């Protein structure tokens, strides 16, 4: 993963920035669930269709809180 400041230098489209932000949110959610010993729940939700929706909703909630 590259930093957002590199996108302009490389001329990459903004979708890459969005993808990196999504992956960063995923990693934070995974860390919280693992810390709470919810590994089994994590595996189940990642295999479902709700995972991407949940990560997207968390991103939106974080944006609204700022």
Give 1-26 pLDDT, tens digit per residue.
555 566 666 666 667 778 888 899 99
Q: Which of 61, 50, 49 is nearest to 25 (CA)?
A: 61
- Does the pTM surpass 0.75? The reply is no
* Cα–Cα dist 66/45, whole Å: 27
Average pLDDT over residues 27-45: 94
Polymer length of the chain: 66
Average pLDDT over residues 49-60: 91
pLDDT-derived band at 63 (thresholds 50, 70, 90) equals: confident
Query: What integer pLDDT is reported at residue 18 of this predicted model?
Result: 81
Intra-chain end-to-end CA distance of the chain, in Å: 24
* Cα–Cα dist 51/53, whole Å: 5
């Amino acid at each position: 993963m590259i930093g957002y400041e590199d996108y302009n230098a490389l001329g990459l489209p903004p979708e890459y920035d969005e993808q990196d932000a999504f992956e960063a949110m995923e990693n934070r959610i995974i860390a919280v669930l693992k810390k709470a010993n919810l590994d089994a729940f994590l595996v189940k939700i990642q295999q479902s269709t709700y995972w991407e929706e949940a990560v997207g909703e968390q991103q939106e909630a974080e944006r609204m809180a700022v």
